[in-house]
Amino acid sequence: MGVRSRMRQASWLAELQAVLAVGAVAALTGVVVAIVRAAFGGWVAFTVPTAALDGLETLVRGSLRPGAGVEPGGEVDVMATDPTVGQRLANLLTHLPSYLVALTILVLLWRIVRTCRREDPFSPAVARRLIRLGVVALAGGLLADAVQLAATYLGSATVLAGSAAASYRYSWWWLLVGFGFLAVGEVVKRGADLRAELDTVV
């Protein structure tokens, strides 16, 4: 039973590694598509608050039922139909950083799983890599959100007359992912330390 259990564990790790590889390829595809679309698309769009568009309430009033209105804190996409190079770059930076962070996380996690298949999964090296992955997720996610917020703000200035208004929703996914990997890394590190202590006792 012990041999079968170990074989099954190796099989699950192989399947997980395959899934991570597919995810990394999908993320890379998303990065390439985003770059191509921003570079060669016929238009780009920026999300701005509805409050930044004067007269929007009057414009859509005839399309709404009585008692309905435009949410003051809502958002609307504004197109640049003949985008400049700067607008294309700003549009690309409104979402590309998150794709790059996700791609980096998937690649690093794939390498960790590969190491666990070949070596001892409860080792200090694996623990360090998990902790490093958590730091990458936290730092990368924070940087991605900062870049995307700045790009959204700068992009809105190119489509709004005489003003700029950023409308960006923080994802916060990187907080959960980052602290999750940090926690798992510390657990593995603790397990490796306990194993080393037991080995010295025995």
Residue 69 phi, psi (nearest 5): -155, 175
pLDDT in tens, 136-185: 999 999 999 999 999 999 998 998 887 777 777 777 889 999 999 999 99
pLDDT at 131: 96
Domain residue limits, the chain: 2-201
Number of neighbouring beta carbons within 10 Å of residue 9: 13
pLDDT in tens, 108-120: 999 999 998 888 8
This prediction's pTM: 0.83
User: What whole-number distance in Å separates Cα of residue 15 and Cα of residue 51?
Assistant: 49
Number of neighbouring beta carbons within 10 Å of residue 186: 14
What is the pLDDT confidence band of residue 122, given thresholds at 50, 70 and 90?
A: confident
